[in-house]
Amino acid sequence: MEVRRPCRIMILVNPQSGRGQALQLFTGHIQGMLTEASVPYTLVITEHQNHARELVRKADLSQWDALVILSGDGLLFEVINGLMDREDWQEAIQIPLGILPGGSGNALAASVHHYSQSPPAWNEELLLSCGFMLCKGLVGPLDLVSVHLASKQRLFSFLSLAWGFVADVDIESEKYRHVGAIRFLMGTLVRLASLRVYQGRLAYLPVKEIESDTKTRAPVDSLLPDLEQPVPDTWTVVKEEDFVLVLAIYQSHLAEDLWTVPGAMADDGLIHLFYVTAGISRPALLRLFLAMEKGGHLACGCPHLVYEKVKALRLEPITPQGMITVDGEVVEYGPVQAQIHPGIESCVSIQELHPSEDPAFVSTSGPGPPKTEKAGSARL
């Protein structure tokens, strides 16, 4: 393990995220922790949407050992895309990123906490756990997914690509952001009342279990044909065209209390593709989301829910209007395709943590199974 001290971190805060209390969360919970751990930091408060993206695009990254965001997933999406906008993106994307949950949608923070084998935590307890992990400064790899839109724009995504029910709930519930993470449950109940079917075509490249992962540093989308070209014969074309939702997710959690992919790891090189076909009843759909809190939705025996592990996918909506989200942010509606790039990003504190062996974690963690140290891990 490489030790570099002192590390200098830039902490980007979105004061509008969540209940609008991200700054108070910093002064109330994180500031003291960083001082105690002698971690030098600079606080940057974003003034508008895409402020962080512009800042990161131009920043002198040699000044920083890590970029940390205190917000929801949306601000991290800005930071990752700001890094990938740079001419030196190959180097830039290797800067460790950290996440402190301060938004209403804190899926990556919940996932990172889960990978550390700590028992589930919410709200301020989750923030404290992520703060501890940040102070420890261990870094592990994180998969990124490149997403192509009809306008030829390419985005980088660390969490999800969603269409239909999940995307609608995410965006429609933003107006309840002030209630925090429970906005998704409220949004789910509202959307259930006006359940819709979305027509479209879905195809994907399945993962063969024997395939070995080739880790690549350069995100060339070798698996994707042009969006106007048909998908290759090696792809699976889904027969159904009537969906309630399509969700591609590459972390364990879709929200603090939605454990969507029980087996997911930050760098498993997989897109976990879920879709729900039309014909599902409202109670059955609600049951799936309620079961997801404990990761039990796949055991519900719901014939409308399909789960596949894939490397790439394409979605072509036929329904003329609707919502597509990437990491919870709205993107242009239309054909979209995506492929995974295993482990090209570095994320602060994930697999390498051994919470059960660390006195700092005794109060918040259970024993958990033993873990093996990964090669290539580094301290900040």
Q: Residue 187, interface with Mg ion (CB under 5 A)?
A: no
Residue whose Cβ sits closest to ligand ADP: 72
Note if 73 is an active site residue.
yes
Which residue number, 18 or 269, has a Cβ lying nearer to ligand ADP? 18
Q: Which of 60, 65, 73, 143 is catalytic?
A: 73
What burial class does residue 98 get, using C-beta atoms within 10 Å of its C-beta: 0-12 exposed, 13-18 middle, 19+ buried?
Answer: buried
Paired tokens of 238: 């889904």
Please pick, from the candidates 18, 98, 105, 180, the single residue that binds Mg ion as defined by CB under 5 A.
105
Stretch binding Mg ion (CB under 5 A), from 101-109, 190-198, 287-295, 345-353: 101-109
**What is d(CA 12, CA 75) in angstroms, rounded to the nearest whole number?**
8
Paired tokens of 288: 């799936």
Which residue number, 12 or 144, has a Cβ lying nearer to ligand ADP? 12
**What is d(CA 252, CA 115) in angstroms, rounded to the nearest whole number?**
8
Question: Closest separation between CB of residue 72 and Mg ion, Å?
Answer: 4
**What is d(CA 350, CA 235) in angstroms, rounded to the nearest whole number?**
32
Paired tokens of 279: 């014909």
Instruction: Name the E strands within the chain.
Output: 9-13, 41-45, 66-71, 97-101, 138-149, 154-157, 160-164, 198-206, 236-237, 242-249, 253-255, 258-259, 271-277, 305-317, 324-326, 329-331, 336-348, 378-379
Count of residues in the chain: 380
Which residue number, 125 or 174, has a Cβ lying nearer to ligand ADP? 174
What burial class does residue 202 get, using C-beta atoms within 10 Å of its C-beta: 0-12 exposed, 13-18 middle, 19+ buried?
Answer: buried
Question: Closest separation between CB of residue 75 and Mg ion, Å?
Answer: 8
71 binds, among Mg ion, ligand ADP, none (CB under 5 to 8 A by kind): ligand ADP
Please pick, from the candidates 13, 14, 67, 72, the single residue that binds Mg ion as defined by CB under 5 A.
72
> 171, 153, 64: which is closest to 335 by C-alpha?
153
Residues 294-333 that bind Mg ion (CB under 5 A): 328
Residue whose Cβ sits closest to Mg ion: 74
Which residue number, 17 or 118, has a Cβ lying nearer to ligand ADP? 17
349 binds, among Mg ion, ligand ADP, none (CB under 5 to 8 A by kind): none
101 binds, among ligand ADP, Mg ion, none (CB under 5 to 8 A by kind): none
Q: Residue 74, interface with Mg ion (CB under 5 A)?
A: yes
**What is d(CA 154, CA 220) in angstroms, rounded to the nearest whole number?**
11
**Angle between helical axes of 123-136 and 107-115 (0-180°, round to 10):** 60
Question: Closest separation between CB of residue 298 and ligand ADP, Å?
Answer: 26
Q: Cβ distance 356 to 365 under 8 Å?
A: yes
**What is d(CA 113, CA 310) in angstroms, rounded to the nearest whole number?**
24
Which residue number, 122 or 213, has a Cβ lying nearer to ligand ADP? 122
Binding site for ligand ADP (CB under 6 A): 14-18, 46-49, 51, 71-75, 78, 103-105, 177, 328-329
Stretch binding Mg ion (CB under 5 A), from 29-37, 100-108, 130-138, 179-187: 100-108
- Distances, alpha carbon 290 to alpha carbons 72, 103, 184, 293, in Å: 22, 22, 11, 6
Question: Closest separation between CB of residue 16 and ligand ADP, Å?
Answer: 4
Q: Cβ distance 118 to 364 under 8 Å?
A: yes
Site size toward Mg ion, by CB under 5 A:
4
Question: Closest separation between CB of residue 224 and ligand ADP, Å?
Answer: 26
Which residue number, 14 or 157, has a Cβ lying nearer to ligand ADP? 14
260 binds, among Mg ion, ligand ADP, none (CB under 5 to 8 A by kind): none
List interacting residues with Mg ion (CB under 5 A): 72, 74, 105, 328
> Which positions are catalytic?
73
